[in-house]
Amino acid sequence: ELGLYANLRPIKLFDELLGASSIKPEILKGADILFFRELTGDIYFGEKGRKNNGDTAFDVAEYSRYEVERIARKAFDARTRKKKLCSVDKANVLETSRLWREVVQKVALEYPDIEIEHQFVDATAMLLIKDPRRFDVVVTANLFGDILTDEASQIAGSMGMLASASIG
């Protein structure tokens, strides 16, 4: 109803709070990530159901080109940062992620000053803990964004230490 389609979640760790995380301070120092999570598509809003007398369940992930374009533009417009954008998907196995990557690559042509990197979600999950300082702006789908921002909250110490905004 409010037209909210983008969740912004900054992960910024201040030196005074380095001890709040269980991750080594030398890995965390200087971490400053801004996540853009798409909020209107993906598995949360797709068809759901049960079949075979309830023994089989399904959830359908669906994205339109328009949904991916608008969140990609919002993330690319974060120009005041380090001009690095990481788009997270699972294009090696998911058709929605192949569309996601195709659309983000096309939008990237409008932002030649921004360095773009595509990463699979499982690699991103590992790198968030191993080397969080390598990230600047991250844009991703609803499900992946939900999981990755919860994981990234541990960089700051807890989910309660993070700001979050849903915008349209």
Q: Would you name the residues annotated as active-site residues?
A: 44, 90, 122, 146, 150
- Please report which helix (H) or strand (E) contains residue 153, including its range: helix 142-156
21: its two tokens = 């995380």
DSSP-derived pairing of the beta strands 32-38 and 137-140: parallel
14: its two tokens = 């201040």
Q: Which residues pair with 33 in a beta bridge?
A: 11
Cα Rg of the chain (Å, integer): 17
Q: Which residues pair with 145 in a beta bridge?
A: none
Q: In a 3-state reduction of DSSP, which class is residue 17?
A: helix
> Using the 8-state DSSP alphabet, how is residue 154 labeled?
H
> Using the 8-state DSSP alphabet, how is residue 125 labeled?
H
- Please report which helix (H) or strand (E) contains residue 63, including its range: none
